[in-house]
Amino acid sequence: MYPLNINYDLQFDKKQVAIQKDIILQLYKSNHNYLFNQYNYQFYEILVHKDDSLEKQDENNRDGQTNKSELYQLTVTYEEIELENKNKNIKLIPDDKDKFFEIILKEQQMRLDKNYQDLYGQLNYSGNVEDIIRSEVFKQFGYDDCPINQKLYYVLTQKCRNDPELKKQQPPEIQLFNSESQKVSLKALMLQCHKEKRLLVVYSGTIADYIAFAQKYKDICKCIITYVKEAHFVERDEEGKFVDGWPIGYYEYEYPQHKSQEDRQRMTKRLKEQFHIPEDLEIYQDQYPENIFDECFGIWPFNMVVFKECKFIWRGVLNLDGLKEKYHSNQLEIHLQNLKY
């Protein structure tokens, strides 16, 4: 891998900095990974710092730029910022809760993208990744990528966080069933892990790699399996003809789909024995038929989610075709040092 053949001499003005940054970002978006490598990540960070330095030198062109610590402490209102910039030709983020939530949702979706997940591990400061994501979101929604909209983003975040309607909406109480058919709340599992300073890692499959991961990192993670719907199910009609199921389950794995919580409990015991799952790797079952855990976190048929400090922080990345490039345990291993307590 070679660094990009561009000017590394930082004796240039703000316009040249912007051009260099744009070249790097375009390479990133084009997936030219052989060009967009660690050298260019470092160079991009240098450009960001250079850009900040030039901003401070040019007081007349600041356009209300605010540093990160100041953004979190903003006390101005949307209306005040809007009034301050009414004569400027800037397309502002609207003061509209539904539209703002669309921006937040898109931002969350982009964070789960494999390329952005990799960026979190490769850039020294996660805030740089957030800036890249937010800039891209602004552009996709047709708003100007400028410091004023960065301000408005934080103002609207504070405003929506205290929205009375949101305060009324509580997340569902997720109950799982353990091997003794007893209900155990997800909240209780998260609290226990938080006390132990371990990540709670939940997987929906029984792959040997995950079992090895759970044993290797047991001091950092409490790993569990949550059995949702049967993935490798095959259903036949009275004549024995295939009528439903997932083709990957045909012949080698031919399991019935669950019709009750008892079915799921029986299949849990069967799979534990068949795949030699160790005793210390607990298997829980999602609640039949609601499958609330899967409805909330989308782990069926074979995904992984991670919780820290009683919060959902990570989910395995799937390609657009629904398949993964590598086992989720291998994905998580890459980011584990940044995620752990």
What is the tens place of the pLDDT at every residue in 148-180?
A: 888 888 888 877 766 666 555 555 689 999 999
Does residue 213 carry a pLDDT above 70? yes
pLDDT of residue 77: 84
pLDDT of residue 268: 92
Q: What is the 3-state secondary structure (H, E, C) of the chain?
A: CCCCCCCCCCCCCHHHHHHHHHHHHHHHHCCCCCCCCHHHHHHHHHHHHHHHHHHHHCHHHCCCCCCHHHHCCCCCCHHHHHHHCCCCCCCCCCCCHHHHHHHHHHHHHHHCCHHHHHHHHHCCCHHHHHHHHHHHHHHHCCCCCCHHHHHHHHHHHHHHHCCHHHHHCCCCCCEEECCCCCEEEHHHHHHHHHHHCCEEEEECCCCHHHHHHHHHCCCCEEEEEEECCCCCEEEECCCCCEEEECHHHCCCCCECCCCCHHHHHHHHHHHHHHCCCCCCCCEEECCCCCCHHHHHHCCCCCCEEEEECCEEEEECCCCCCCCCCCCHHHHHHHHHHHHCC
Does residue 284 carry a pLDDT above 60? yes
In contact, 163 and 97? CB cutoff 8 Å:
yes
Mean pLDDT lowest for which of 162-171, 207-216, 232-241, 266-275?
Answer: 162-171
In contact, 265 and 289? CB cutoff 8 Å:
no
More confident residue, 102 or 65: 102
More confident residue, 217 or 294: 217
pTM for the full model? Answer: 0.54
pLDDT of residue 193: 96
Mean pLDDT lowest for which of 186-200, 215-229, 298-312?
Answer: 298-312
| Average pLDDT of the residues in 97-115 | 81
pLDDT of residue 108: 74
| Average pLDDT of the residues in 301-306 | 87
| Average pLDDT of the residues in 247-262 | 73
pLDDT of residue 225: 95
Residue range 4-49, pLDDT digits in tens:
343 444 445 555 556 555 655 555 544 444 344 444 444 555 555 5
pLDDT of residue 160: 76
| Average pLDDT of the residues in 268-296 | 91
Residue 211's pLDDT band (cuts 50, 70, 90): very high
More confident residue, 216 or 104: 216
What the chain holds in terms of domains, given with CATH numbers, is 14-167 (no CATH), 175-339 (3.40.30.10)
Does residue 241 carry a pLDDT above 50? yes
Residue 76's pLDDT band (cuts 50, 70, 90): confident
| Average pLDDT of the residues in 284-305 | 89
Mean pLDDT lowest for which of 87-91, 253-257, 279-283?
Answer: 253-257
Does residue 326 carry a pLDDT above 70? yes
